[in-house]
Amino acid sequence: MAKSDNPWLVCFEKRPAAKARLLCFPHAGGSATAFATWHRELPQDIEVQVVQLPGREQRRHEPHRVDMKALAAELAGVLAEPHDRVVSLFGYSVGALVAFEYARARRRIGATEPAHLFVAARKAPHLPHDAPSRALSDDDFVRELDRRYEGIPKVIRDEPELLAYFLPTIRGDVALLDSYRYEDEPKLTCPITAFGGTLDPSVPESALAGWGEQTSGRFEARMMPGGHFFITETRSAVLEIVASRLAT
């Protein structure tokens, strides 16, 4: 993992000569590690950086952010936009909403929009979003996550110590989703590409298509085989699409 002076950013391979940067936002409970291998499947002219939110990995002792609007404003302040290359965003699940609101927060402070916004496994932001109740016991919370999102990998569920390690982060990110209240603003002008899983009950194709209402630019919806975490099986196909869109 490449070191960074900014605790909010992780880069697994620095590419100083890259013309484009893909800034990634993980799913609920996820961390920069979720994108650890992406640079290997993308062309050398794309550098991958990942937003590392507080409460996980090397930032695990910092308090989780549980207010979406406040987080987007904070990100706009701490992620100084580089002027040496084009920046696009990729957000997965809850990370899709974070990426979207970050793009709008940057615009509010006078910074440029991303060159492209990629979102995955999340219905359009103006549609109703529901999250498991924070009042649920840990056992009921885990069961509800599994019912809705195929939530927690079995290898973690079956190991009490691992589950105890990850559960506070997942609960924090679910609280972040629960805080989300969409507010009308002018549409983004950048292209949006939205990915969904054909077997994901939480994001039907019609809800994924709603992302098209959030841009005045080009929009494309791509349904991939699999459930909420379709990226596990289709990562190469998704990254092929990402690379082709960034090349245009």
Q: Name the residues annotated as catalytic.
A: 93
Helix/strand/coil percentages in the chain, nearest 5? 40, 15, 45
Is there a contact between 94 and 177 (Cβ–Cβ < 8 Å)? yes
Tokens of 97: 């909403």
Amino acid at 1: M
- The whole-angstrom distance between residue 101's C-alpha and the CA centroid of its chain comes to 11
Collapse the DSSP code of 13 into the 3-class scheme (helix H, G, I; strand E, B; otherwise coil) and give the result.
coil
| Ramachandran category for residue 112: left, alpha or beta (phi over 0 → left; psi -120 to 50 → alpha) | beta
* Distance between CA atoms of residues 30 and 13, nearest Å: 19
